[in-house]
Amino acid sequence: MRAYDKFYIDGQWVAPVGQETVAVINPCNEEEIARLAMGNAEDVNRAVAAARSAFGDWSATPASERAALLTRICEAMTARQNEIGDTIAREMGMPAPWSRMIQAGLPIATFASFAQILKDYEFETPMGGTQIAKEAVGVCGFITPWNYPLHQIVGKVAPALAAGCTMILKPSQLAPLNAFILAEILDEVGLPPGVFNLVCGAGTRVGEAMSAHPDVDMVSITGSTASGIHVARAGAETVKRITLELGGKSANILLDDVDFQAAVTKGVYDCFLNSGQTCSALTRMLVPREKQSEVMDIARETVKTMVIGDAFAEGTYIGPVVDAAQQRSVQGYIQKGIDQGATLVTGGAEPPEGLETGYFVKPTVFADVTPEMTIAREEIFGPVLSIMPYGSEDEAVAMANDSPYGLSGAVWSADMERARRVARRMRTGQVYINGAGFDINAPFGGYKQSGNGRERSHYGLEEFLEIKAMMGHNQ
């Protein structure tokens, strides 16, 4: 068992100010796999000072040099892709083959995409007699979650590096080990000292200190809506830029003309990927009322094909949820669905048979779910799908939009124009049409309480840029 007892600050591995540590637990077997040092506000102060000192030189580095460095990072991560994937499988439980492909593969693709964006991006453009310059926003603080830990880290680090920002990262203490691999890679490829700094700790201490720090120009958090509100409040005191990528309760609208076997099967698999621990998961399946019985049968049969088990066991599709608290929370939601009168199609609140050790939850499908039920309104963050019957296309759209969230969504129709028409009416940041896959080059972010700002694509780069107008430049 390795001790992660140092932070990466100003290009060096340094001992934290305090002595506090926590265990990192493998959720598949509840065994401790590492000890993690926990920082405090003094560690944040050191990291912010390093980032502030490095900002002038890094922000003035030519974009071509920054692009070349992003490419080197991409290559170094590719060389360690399986190690990264397996590390994340151990710390948060996603099955290893999926983890290698998604948890390691997406961050690699993200670095590559920003290297490409930088090659064509114009940081200065004329506008009449005025020159418009786009400049790095400054020192950034990043607070990231455990569900796609490195993917969410890189979704902030890559565009920030591309823009010329310096940064402090606070990863989740539940799945922090991948962040140390990233720090090792950044050190190895020659990122200048102070540009990237890693400090672990509790949100109430390290996250709070970063959010309120007067020398931090921007904070970006991916997490729960409650956490985002807390960060926004703390950052408001110094009027810093805040970007929030928060929760979701996304609707998957199946119109009456679709191949239900294909649409339902894919919908169930997508919902239960990563044990349902995906902020953009399509957790509400809206189906024509007269088709609900058929949909229930397809969903039940689909779940039967899914192997639940250890992240490294052959054929596993559903691993555990991340920890005991998450397991209790998800089981509580399942019980609430039963208590409020939803029809239990498959699953239930008790642990899966033979998997009493580890934080496993039965993949659970409900039908006859109505919009006012708790399982239709709150983000469960576990393998729970709500099938909701509707009467008309207009009712389906209204139900989809009847949510405090607006992160993602989907629509299926045999008529592409009809599907696009419905997609345009959905108040959400992304819509997947007819089972389309995730696009690493598309902007990602939400409407309403799912947050503000966008990650990935040139829109993601621009979150890290200030706009300066220099009048008279061309007169």
pLDDT digits (tens, 9 = 90+) for 28-73: 999 999 999 999 999 999 999 999 999 999 999 999 999 999 999 9
Q: Are residues 267 and 202 in the same domain?
A: no
Q: Are residues 289 and 237 in the same domain?
A: no
> Using CA atoms, how far apart are residues 318 and 313, in angstroms rounded to an integer?
11
Residue among 15, 391, 16 at smallest CA distance from 201: 16
State residue 472's pLDDT score. Answer: 86
Q: Are residues 407 and 459 in the same domain?
A: no
- One DSSP character per residue, 140-195 reads EEEE--SSSHHHHHHHHHHHHHHHT-EEEEE--TTS-HHHHHHHHHHHHTTPPTTS
Q: How many CB atoms lie within 10 A of CB 29?
A: 15
Determine, yes or no, domain membership for 57: yes
Determine, yes or no, domain membership for 337: yes
Q: Are residues 260 and 215 in the same domain?
A: no
Catalytic residue, chosen from 200, 279, 455, 463, is 279
Q: Are residues 242 and 107 in the same domain?
A: yes
User: Which residue ranges in the chain fall short of pLDDT 70?
Assistant: 473-475
> Using CA atoms, how far apart are residues 380 and 332, in angstroms rounded to an integer?
9
> Using CA atoms, how far apart are residues 453 and 436, in angstroms rounded to an integer?
23
Q: Are residues 231 and 265 in the same domain?
A: no
Q: Are residues 375 and 228 in the same domain?
A: no
Overall pTM > 0.85: yes
Residue among 437, 470, 475, 400 at smallest CA distance from 131: 470
CATH number of the domain within which 242 lies:
3.40.605.10
> What's the maximum distance between 2 C-alpha atoms anywhere in the chain?
77
255 and 419 in contact (C-beta within 8 Å)?
yes
378 noted as active-site residue: no
CATH number of the domain within which 293 lies:
3.40.309.10
> Using CA atoms, how far apart are residues 439 and 4, in angstroms rounded to an integer?
34
> Using CA atoms, how far apart are residues 264 and 373, in angstroms rounded to an integer?
22
Determine, yes or no, domain membership for 20: yes
Q: Which two tokens stand for residue 87?
A: 């590390």
Q: Are residues 206 and 261 in the same domain?
A: no
Determine, yes or no, domain membership for 408: yes
Q: Are residues 193 and 316 in the same domain?
A: no
Q: Are residues 256 and 403 in the same domain?
A: yes
Catalytic residue, chosen from 91, 208, 245, 379, is 245
Q: Are residues 295 and 359 in the same domain?
A: yes
Q: In degrees rounded to 5, what are phi and psi of residue 128?
A: 65, -130
Determine, yes or no, domain membership for 445: no
279 noted as active-site residue: yes
Domain that holds residue 305: 251-440
- One DSSP character per residue, 336-356 reads HHHHTT-EEEE--SSPPTT--
Instruction: Count structural domains, the chain.
Output: 2
Q: Is 144 exposed, middle or buried (0-12, 13-18, 19+ CB in 10 A)?
A: buried
Q: Are residues 281 and 324 in the same domain?
A: yes
